Amino acid sequence: MEKQTIQPFLSVANYHLIEQQMNKLLNAYNTTKDRNVLLAVKGLVETEIEKNIQPSDVQLTVIEQLYKMKDRTQAELYLESLKPFVIPFKKVTTSNLKSLFKKEKKLKLPNIESIDFRHICYFTWHDASTHRKYIVVEQQGKLKAIKGQVEANTIKGICAICHHHSDVSLFTTTKKGKAIDTFKKHSNYICSDSESCNRNIADYTRVNDFFERVTE
């Protein structure tokens, strides 16, 4: 079958997984010439990718080219060639955002045009004047949203969304409790740089788990 007829089958997180595993492979080539070590790393990379993506036979023809990568230039071209197979994050419009945050007074909307939806696992922006951070996730094809206060200072720590060690800031969401006038707060450290946070996510369940946790 021709490659062009293969429909998009990679989630954004899958694409990041491939990128991360490819870096692992290239690092191995840069640090050792030991054939057995290289074969072992290759084996681990293959297992990790195929376990998470579970490609069909035709999809595998696209993926398995990765295992042949030996240098950065080749790898970058390969990653570029994968882009047509990525299912982007559900397109977000200004009116989507207005309705998702309809209770929010003076909502300052982000510049949606500048977002590459093939690279995000969640959509977020930050209003520096109010220290509010808005997060939109996709669950079963539907957009869901949360907002919270984000502290300006950062520390080194583990991000509650991507689970990577990075510069993180405290993000606090407030939810109305069951009894009148009660509130439930959730505070989590999350990456200050949401672009790199998104790029760290190689497993979408992390985004879902985070969302479930702060909205429970």
Give me the least distance between CB of 193 and Zn ion, in Å please: 8
Does residue 10 interact with Zn ion by CB under 5 A? Answer: no
Mark residue 181 as left, alpha or beta (left: phi above 0; alpha: psi -120 to 50; beta: remaining).
left
Q: Is 197 in the site for Zn ion (CB under 5 A)?
A: yes
Q: Which is nearer to Zn ion, 92 or 162 (CB)?
A: 162
120 contributes a contact to Zn ion by CB under 5 A: no
CA 105 from centroid of its chain's CA atoms: 29
Q: Residue 146's closest CA among 89, 199, 97, 109?
A: 97
Interface region with Zn ion, contact rule CB under 5 A, candidates 7-15, 59-67, 117-125, 191-199: 191-199
Q: Is 191 in the site for Zn ion (CB under 5 A)?
A: yes
CA–CA gap between residue 185 and residue 215 (Å, rounded)? 10
d(CA 114, CA 190): 22
Beta strands 142-150 and 155-158 are: unpaired
CA distance 81 to 8: 12
Q: How far from the centroid of its chain's Cα atoms is residue 143's Cα?
A: 15
Rounded to a whole number of angstroms, the minimum distance from the CB of residue 206 to Zn ion is: 9
Which one of residues 12, 66, 136, 161 is an interface residue with Zn ion (CB under 5 A)? 161
Residue nearer to Zn ion on the CB measure, 62 or 204:
204
The residue within the footprint of Zn ion, chosen from 162, 202, 207, 214 (CB under 5 A), is 162
Among candidates 167, 166, 163, 164, which has minimal Cα distance to 154? 167
Task: State the nearest-atom distance from the C-beta of 105 to Zn ion, in Å.
Answer: 29
Q: Does 12 bind Zn ion (CB under 5 A)?
A: no
Shortest Å distance, C-beta 163 to Zn ion: 7
Shortest distance, position 202 Cβ to Zn ion, whole Å? 12
Binding site residues, Zn ion, CB under 5 A: 159, 161-162, 191, 197
